[in-house]
Structure 1
């Protein structure tokens, strides 16, 4: 490591520190913004939600540690892949041969297929429950299920067509969307834990953070854009809550999920 990549052993490496904070922003924001996490939360029994998510978090924490270890091995051997996504399969192939490389490819493909299926299902379910009742009234459960199947196919085909040009790598896509994800972290967190959070301030914070974050993203740097988005979101949300605190009205939340008002009100 000292011979091939001495900068990777420097704990004050600016690029590493920037990725650490930027990665935390878009990683946490990804959990909040990804429908698959919320879908699983509703699918698990209420008494098991906390336990399952804690166990999943502990188990998932081992993944970046393992991949980071593989990256150190790749650097130590002076093997630099064409893309950062190829570090883990490269090391697997170096140590285990061609069979290990194929086996790792199958494991990654299985994980991607599972995630893609969950994302398609989540988006189709969202459209079926939120959009369909507004477009067509009086839809029965059987009709909703049938429309859900159609929407799943449509969303899958559209996703396939959008992915064919391969405009971005997976890492580039995560970082690009990280600006949006970071903008929603603090409005969601403060909205969940503080009943004084100003809803208008949270909405404005998200919009300003996205616009400001992408301005920094395209002028200064991508990770800097994520960090700027997170800070703008926090400052505006927290500042508006302190200056103009608001009382949360549970009745508004109750009415928000209704497709049509009851009793003509």
Structure 2
């Protein structure tokens, strides 16, 4: 598609309203994680795991609507999260945050690539590396040539398949098997899933919320959609998106329940194999395939597009300030190829579970939550020590991780970064107070 400027490639030609805004945000956040990690959370932490995963996304999207309102009031002409950080941070802090954003972007696309390869293997028997390669090639062509307009078009189609799948497949199974039989089977084979007094599950919910705040607050694609929206529609769009999104993990968790009620399982991937085998209706199986691949392609494309926008708009443009609009767009094309290839190489050499990956990078997100909030709410440029607090928080957590486990490491990351931010702000207040007391003419 032909774009006249890089800004048009990033944000489109016009502002969008609540309807398209909700569709675009949901298309960004219904991801491979939603398909794989929410059922994995249910299996690992019981009913609280599935509910907690749904709450994590819903509450954080609603909270980001409020944060986004403050962002638009302070700096309404931006395109990316990098533009806002350039406005609110000094150079050292800015480059620290850009480095962290690039790391988290690669993580998001790596997760989608893993999910795509596994799905291709489950549904079509394609070897996972081959499925990954085909997936990355399609997404790179789609993002490089299509831009935000084509991404939005796919988002509308994806939402149709998504909600049709979320409604029709559970309905089909529960009518065929009977809700009572499913419940009795889970009580017989997996009673731990129904335990209400599950402290580990409750801890997962709280920790998941902490990860979710940091993840959404620094998600580049969400910031782009924030700048695409009409200003007065920012809050209602994100609130509605959060409420609707919360139903999706619950729907995918219900898919797992109709598989495990007849016996045991090996792991989350074997559960998906069993699910595909149990969908004996060709229409529903096709719908499931379109829904899952559509979700992963849409999420990966949004992440790739936003990363290209960040690098070209906030890194390349600083080193080449006289670059023309066509040069920026061409640079975006070449970046799409490089990032896609790099993501493929990562999926070829690393194969962690999505839930483990979520916790591993959750350490970074937990360290970011409070510093980003302070940067947004500060009236002037935030000190460079605020981003440094993030680095110190995540570093301490990774060092302690092998001794305390994933969930506790997330909390260490948040506590250290938050304590350092509070100490820094307290020092700043004391310094200002002491300066006033010792200024000439003060009493």
Q: What interval of TM-score do these two structures reach, taking the shorter chain for normalisation?
A: 0.7 to 0.9
How far the C-alpha of 1:48 sits from its partner, in A, is 2.1
Are 2:250 and 1:65 aligned?
Answer: yes
Match for residue 386 of structure 2?
202
**Shift, 1:87, TM fit:** 4.8
Partner residue, 1:2: 187
User: Which segments of 5 or more consecutive residues in structure 2 lack a partner in the other structure?
Assistant: 1-185, 432-443
Q: 2:197 is paired with a residue of what secondary structure? A: coil
Quote the Cα distance in structure 2 between the aligned partners of 1:180 and 1:24: 14
Q: 1:239 to 1:87 in 2, by over 3 A?
A: farther
1:150 to 334, 337, 344: 334
RMSD: 2.8
Higher relative contact order structure (alpha carbons within 8 Å, sequence separation ≥ 6): 2
In structure 2, what is the equivalent of residue 54 of structure 1? 239
Is the 8 Å Cα contact of residues 393 and 414 (structure 2) preserved in structure 1?
A: yes
Structure 2 CA distance for aligned equivalents of residues 184 and 194 of structure 1 = 15
User: Paired residue for 1:253?
Assistant: none
- Partner residue, 2:221: 36
Partner of residue 423, structure 2: 239
Question: Match of 1:244, SS?
Answer: helix
Q: Does 1:188 align with 2:388?
A: no
Q: CA deviation at 1:18?
A: 2.6
Change (3 A) 1:199 1:68: farther
In the alignment, the residues of structure 2 paired with residue 233 and residue 7 of structure 1 have an alpha-carbon distance, to the nearest angstrom, of 35
Q: Does 1:134 align with 2:134?
A: no
- Distance in 1, matches of 2:253 and 2:429, equals 43
**Where does residue 177 of structure 1 map in the other structure?**
361
Q: Is the 8 A contact 2:367 2:390 kept in 1?
A: yes
Aligned partner of 1:97 in structure 2 is 280
- Partner residue in 2 for 1:80: 265
Residue 86 to residue 105, structure 1, CA distance change in 2 (3 Å): farther
TM superposition score normalised by structure 2 = 0.50
Local SS of the residue matching 1:97 = coil
Aligned residue pairs: how many? Answer: 245
Kept in 2: contact 1:210–1:229 (CA 8 A): yes
Kept in 2: contact 1:198–1:245 (CA 8 A)? no
Task: Give the equivalent residue in structure 2 for 1:27.
Answer: 212
TM-score by length of 1: 0.80
Local SS of the residue matching 1:2: helix
Which string of whole-angstrom CA distances, capped at 9 and with x for unpartnered residues, describes residues 17-58 of structure 1? 232122112222211222111111112222222222111111
Closer, same or farther: CA 196–240 of 1 in aligned 2, 3 Å: farther
Aligned match of 1:262:
none
How far apart in 1 are the matches of 2:234 and 2:209? 23
CA contact (8 A) 2:189 2:264 kept: no
How far does residue 128 in structure 1 lie from its aligned partner after superposition? Answer: 0.7
Distance 1:43 1:27, change over 3 A: same
State the shift of 1:92 in Å: 6.5
Matched, 1:229 2:413: yes
Aligned-residue offset at 1:88: 6.4
Q: Does 1:165 align with 2:349?
A: yes
Structure 1: gaps (5+ residues): 248-265
Tell me whether 154-163 or 193-202 shows the greater mean CA deviation.
193-202
Structure 1 CA distance for aligned equivalents of residues 240 and 295 of structure 2: 18
Contact 1:179–1:226 under 8 Å retained in 2: yes
